[in-house]
Amino acid sequence: NDKEFSRDCCSEECVSKDPSLNHEADFMENVSVKNPSEVANVQRGQPKVSFADIGCGFGGLLVKLSPMFPDTLMVGMELRDKVSEYVKDRIMALRKENPGQYQNISIIRTNAMKYLQNYFQKGQLQKMFFLFPDPHFKERNHRRRVISVALLAEYAHVMAVGGILYTITDVQDLGEWMKACLDAHPLFEEVSSQEQELDPVVTLLKRATEEGQKVERNSGDTFQSVYRRVASSSAG
Ligand code: SAM
């Protein structure tokens, strides 16, 4: 199960179906927190993860979010084994250097497109991030994109009503694709630009991650979409 993954690899053989083989034990250990005071996601005394960074790469976003939301548990999900190991070591080092801090972030190596539902309950997540996802340029590979109308139904399932989904890319075609998928989905509505300006997380999207910093160094354009999970109209 410790195959090395290429950057764009998300084929069926990549990841075991048994989540326990996908570092879930580490994850459970890592998410234990000192101050489990987050009200919305504390059920039966057990704090639950509220933010998920899908395809988190080297973990830059988690590291930035951790001190901003010290009482919120968040997890990165990353397909590549070596990259997820790097993130795990990075978090451990930060915890060692900063006693009492960075206890609220963790990492799972998994194929989030396939196994997301193994990790979260219905309505659990307050925020989901898809920052600079792999573009899968060729049309026949569009089905591998991490945002699609079908996958949005899965994301909507694990998101709380009112939760926010953030995407950003430097690939215009992908940015338009993600926006079109979100516009087409009845359980998501675009967050107004005024509201986005007031959201401190939005300012992180462009440069918190390693990929974002690379794009910024090259003065590349970015295309972002910020959408809210809404209740289904039939449910009222
Ligand atoms: N979000 C990070 C950033 O902005 O720096 C990483 C961006 S990188 C271009 C895309 C990442 O998504 C890669 O690290 C890749 O391994 C990961 N990835 C691709 N498909 C995935 C999947 N199905 N589940 C989890 N991670 C995935």
CB distance 209 to ligand 1 below 6 Å: yes
Residue 103 alpha carbon to ligand 1 centre in Å:
23
Q: Which of 56, 141, 151 to mutate to test the pocket of ligand 1 (most atoms within 8 A of CB)?
A: 56
Model confidence band, residue 84 (pLDDT cutoffs 50, 70, 90): very high
CB distance 175 to ligand 1 below 6 Å: no
pLDDT at residue 39 above 90? no
Whole-angstrom distance, CA of residue 235 vs CA of residue 233: 5
111 is in an annotated binding site: yes
Name the active-site residue from 18, 134, 170, 199.
Answer: 134
Do 199 and 165 touch, CB atoms closer than 8 A?
A: no
3-state secondary structure of 81: helix
- Domains of the chain, CATH where assigned: 19-235 (3.40.50.150)
Do 76 and 59 touch, CB atoms closer than 8 A?
A: yes
Is 134 part of the annotated catalytic residue set? yes
CB distance 170 to ligand 1 below 6 Å: no
CB distance 148 to ligand 1 below 6 Å: no
Do 3 and 80 touch, CB atoms closer than 8 A?
A: no
3-state secondary structure of 232: coil
| pTM metric for this prediction | 0.85
The distance in angstroms from the start CA to the end CA of the chain is 45
For this complex, say whether ipTM is above 0.95: yes
Per-residue model confidence (pLDDT) at position 9: 33
